[in-house]
């Protein structure tokens, strides 16, 4: 594959960061597994990582034009599927939320796929006609479509995913060159959106109140950082994962890393995400097409922002939301979606611009 040969050191560095994060997540998941479930956790996490690699390679084999044609019907199918989850037996409810689909012993969260589909659709939209970015009517129309698309996600309820997509969309418009006067409108819209969500969804207001009065989940997470100290208690020697911290394998896996690997391990994870962001934006700048630049920057921001929010929420800097730590948290929905997004984005960068056939070759 020509595109594969064109991956340069910046792309290799970005992929190395992802691999290192995935390995760290695998080690943490196994070391924090309950007694008697080590092999099950290992097999399940390896299966999810294998699925992530397969999705990355499959996405990378698609041409940019094929992925752009595919994403709109894919969003439509996903929207219908999410609606059906609320009115049929397709949806699996846990923790008062209907976000998952049960497939044998595994549960997947279909709405996470928006983290793959929406950046592709948005990058395609802004790159096909840059004049749209100066049209309030066109942007408003896209905003209405976005809110309709997010309606079943809000019903789950899953406010965290919606907020991530709104913030990332704002930065995508900024990357694409949208006038700042249009982007300023997003701030009051986001505030109004949060207020409406807190009124209609009780769990949102409760999460915001936890910001002032930390939950036991956050307090126990802070205790894990204290217990880990500088070097940690060692892999497999931590106790916080055994029911002391809810969702310790998914949303709150960072405190488990801090307990077992200490401040050093926490800093390594943070550094890997920082390096991933640096390499991601370097790769974006190397694209020969506007679409590749915007999509790679958006994909980088999608992963980096989610990682930053996850690490900030366990330290009580921002309100707690159900967001996994990308490539580190246990589970497959996020790994699959973000791996596919990286595959499409890298292909858009390294595929290269189609050049016209020289005149002398037309008549040869």
- Over residues 101-119, the pLDDT tens digits come to 766 666 778 888 899 999 9
Higher pLDDT pick, 315 / 199: 315
What pLDDT score does 362 carry? 36
pTM: 0.88
Least confident of 18-32, 283-297, 307-321: 307-321
Is residue 202 pLDDT above 70, yes or no?
A: no
- What share of the chain has pLDDT > 90, as a percent? 33
Q: Where are the domains of the chain?
A: 2-352
DSSP letter string over 203-268?
Answer: HHHHHHHHHHS--HHHHHHHHHHHHHTTT-S-TT---TTTTTSTTTTTTTHHHHHHHHHHHHHHHH
Residues 6+ apart with CB under 8 A from 89: none
Residue 190: strand, helix, or coil:
helix
- Over residues 137-184, the pLDDT tens digits come to 888 888 888 888 888 887 777 777 888 888 888 889 888 888 877 777
- Over residues 78-98, the pLDDT tens digits come to 888 888 887 777 766 665 566
What pLDDT score does 60 carry? 93
What pLDDT score does 214 carry? 67
Question: Which of 112, 138, 144 lies closest to 125, judged by CA?
Answer: 138
Is residue 67 pLDDT above 60, yes or no?
A: yes
């Amino acid at each position: 594959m020509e595109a594969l040969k064109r991956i340069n050191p910046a792309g290799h560095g970005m992929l190395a960061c992802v691999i290192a994060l995935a390995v760290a997540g695998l080690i943490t998941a196994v070391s924090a597994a309950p007694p008697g479930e080590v092999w099950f956790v290992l097999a399940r996490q390896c299966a999810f990582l294998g699925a992530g690699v397969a999705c990355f390679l499959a996405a990378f084999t698609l041409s940019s034009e094929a992925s752009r044609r595919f994403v709109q019907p894919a969003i439509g199918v996903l929207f219908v599927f999410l609606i059906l989850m609320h009115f049929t037996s397709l949806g699996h409810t846990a923790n008062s939320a209907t976000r998952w689909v049960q497939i044998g012993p595994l549960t997947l969260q279909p709405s996470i796929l928006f983290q793959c589909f929406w950046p592709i659709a948005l990058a395609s939209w802004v790159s096909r006609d840059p004049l749209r970015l100066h049209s309030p009517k066109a942007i408003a129309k896209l905003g209405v479509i976005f809110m309709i698309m997010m309606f079943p996600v809000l019903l789950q309820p899953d406010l965290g995913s919606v907020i991530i997509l709104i913030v990332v969309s704002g930065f995508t418009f900024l990357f694409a060159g949208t006038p700042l006067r249009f982007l300023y409108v997003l701030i009051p819209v986001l505030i109004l959106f949060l207020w409406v969500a807190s009124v209609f969804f009780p769990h949102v207001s409760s999460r915001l109140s936890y910001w002032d009065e930390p939950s036991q989940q956050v307090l126990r997470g802070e205790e894990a950082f204290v217990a880990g100290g500088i070097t940690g208690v060692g892999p497999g020697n931590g106790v916080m994962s055994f029911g002391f911290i809810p969702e310790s394998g998914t949303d709150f896996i960072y405190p488990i890393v801090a307990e077992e690997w200490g401040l050093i391990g926490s800093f390594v994870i943070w550094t890997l995400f920082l390096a991933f962001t640096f390499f991601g934006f370097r790769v974006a700048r190397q694209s020969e097409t506007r679409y590749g630049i915007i999509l790679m920057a958006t994909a980088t921001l999608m992963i980096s922002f989610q990682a930053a929010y996850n690490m900030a929420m366990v330290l009580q800097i921002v309100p707690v939301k159900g967001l996994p730590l990308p490539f580190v948290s246990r589970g497959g929905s996020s790994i699959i979606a973000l791996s596919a997004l990286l595959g499409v984005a890298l292909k858009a960068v390294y595929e290269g611009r189609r050049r016209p056939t020289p005149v002398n070759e037309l008549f040869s």
